[in-house]
C-alpha cells in the first residue's frame, strides 16, 4: 500500500497537470470499489473546475472551485495513470508503485479533460472515490485521524499523553492512523531503526528522549522519502521517467539476514511479524 510519501508524489504529479482544468467527461466502468460509486457520480463531476490537489495522510483530495471535494484513496493496489491524446508516453503512472504503464484490465474510472485523461486502475478494488459537499463534511471525515508527522500538533506533550496507560507497542502505534496519520509499515521500521528503539517496546515506557526521537525521525524519514520521490519497491518509473529512490536508503526494510549498517555492529537484520505485519529491526542497535 502506498504510504504518505508515495501519495504525496501522486498529489504533486496531478496538481501540476490538472490544476485549473475543467472536467469534460467521466466514464465509470466498474462501480464496485471499496464503496460503490453512485449513479450520480458522473453527473456531479461533469464541468467542475479543479482548484488544486491536496493530500491528508494517505488520501488525495481534489479541491473544486465550487468548494466541493473528491477524496481518493488508492487502497492496496490503486494507481492513477495520465494518458495524453495523440501522444504516446512510455510511462503513464503518476507515482512509483505497481505498473509503470496502464494495464489492460481493471481500469475502473476515467476522467477526461480537453487534451488528456486520467484513469484509475485497481486490481483488488480496495480504493475508493468519495464526493464531499463542503469543508465541514470533509473535516468530519478526518476528525478521528491523528495529526500528520509534519504537524505542530505531533509534539512531545501529545505523544506522552497518548501513550499513557496503553499497552500497545511502538510499532503498532506508528501504523495506527488514529495516533499519527500517514506512516505505514515500511516507514515505521525505518523510523524505529534510526531511533534505536525496538519495535516491540511498549509506548508507555518510552523515555522523554525516545519520544523526541520518534518525533524527529518521523519527520526526517518521510521528508527524505518525498525528496527521493518515494519508494519504488519494484523498479517502476513515473510519467516523467523517474524512479522513486528511497528504497536505496532502506536501513532495515526488506533487509532480513543482511548485515546491519551501523558502524561496529556485526548483527544481521531480523524480520518478525507484529499484528501480521512484517517488521524489520536490528536486535543489537535497537533497545
Q: Confirm whether 34 is a catalytic residue.
A: no
| C-beta of residue 204 within 8 angstroms of C-beta of residue 173 | no
Per annotation, catalytic residue among 2, 5, 149, 199: 2
CB atoms within 10 A of CB 128: 19
Residue 9 three-state SS:
helix
The active-site residue out of 58, 171, 213, 237 is 58
DSSP designation for 243: B
**Residue 8 falls in the annotated catalytic set:** no
Decide: 64 and 48 in contact? Cβ < 8 Å.
Answer: yes
Query: Which DSSP string corresponds to 64-128?
Result: ETTS-EEEEE-TTT-EEEEEETT---S--BSSSSS-SS--SS-EEEEEE-SSEEEEEE-SS---E
Is-catalytic flag, 58? yes
Q: How many Cβ atoms from other residues are within 10 Å of residue 149's Cβ?
A: 24
Residue 199 annotated among the catalytic residues of the structure: no
Query: SS3 of 216, please?
Result: helix
Which of 3, 6, 8, 190 is catalytic? The answer is 3
Q: C-alpha 221: how far from its chain's center?
A: 13
Q: Which residues form the catalytic set?
A: 2-3, 58, 277
Amino acid at each position: 500500500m502506498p504510504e504518505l510519501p508515495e501519495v504525496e508524489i501522486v498529489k504533486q504529479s496531478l496538481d501540476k497537470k490538472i490544476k485549473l482544468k475543467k472536467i469534460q467527461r467521466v466514464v465509470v466502468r466498474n462501480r464496485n470499489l471499496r464503496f460503490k460509486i453512485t449513479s450520480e457520480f458522473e453527473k456531479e463531476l461533469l464541468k467542475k473546475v479543479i482548484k488544486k490537489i491536496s493530500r491528508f495522510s494517505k488520501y488525495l483530495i481534489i479541491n473544486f472551485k465550487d468548494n466541493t471535494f473528491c477524496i481518493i484513496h488508492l487502497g492496496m493496489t490503486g494507481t492513477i495513470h495520465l494518458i495524453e491524446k495523440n501522444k504516446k508516453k512510455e510511462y503513464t503512472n503518476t507515482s512509483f508503485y505497481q505498473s509503470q504503464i496502464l494495464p489492460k484490465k481493471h481500469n475502473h474510472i476515467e476522467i477526461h479533460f480537453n487534451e488528456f485523461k486520467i484513469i484509475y486502475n485497481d486490481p483488488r478494488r480496495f480504493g475508493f472515490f468519495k464526493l464531499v459537499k463542503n469543508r465541514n463534511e470533509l473535516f468530519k471525515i478526518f476528525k478521528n485521524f491523528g495529526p500528520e508527522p509534519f504537524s505542530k500538533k505531533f509534539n512531545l506533550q501529545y505523544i506522552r499523553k497518548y501513550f499513557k496507560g496503553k499497552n500497545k507497542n511502538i510499532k503498532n502505534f506508528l501504523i495506527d492512523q488514529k495516533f499519527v496519520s500517514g506512516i505505514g509499515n515500511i516507514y515505521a521500521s525505518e523510523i524505529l531503526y534510526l531511533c534505536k528503539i525496538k519495535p516491540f517496546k511498549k509506548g508507555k515506557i518510552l523515555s522523554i528522549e525516545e519520544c523526541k526521537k520518534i518525533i524527529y525521525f518521523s519527520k526526517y524519514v518521510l521528508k527524505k522519502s518525498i525528496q527521493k520521490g518515494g519508494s519504488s519497491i519494484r523498479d517502476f518509473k513515473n510519467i516523467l521517467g523517474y524512479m522513486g529512490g528511497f528504497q536505496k536508503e532502506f536501513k532495515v526494510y526488506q533487509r532480513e539476514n543482511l548485515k546491519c549498517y551501523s558502524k561496529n555492529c556485526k548483527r544481521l537484520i531480523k524480520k518478525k511479524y507484529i499484528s501480521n505485519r512484517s517488521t524489520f529491526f536490528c536486535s543489537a542497535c535497537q533497545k
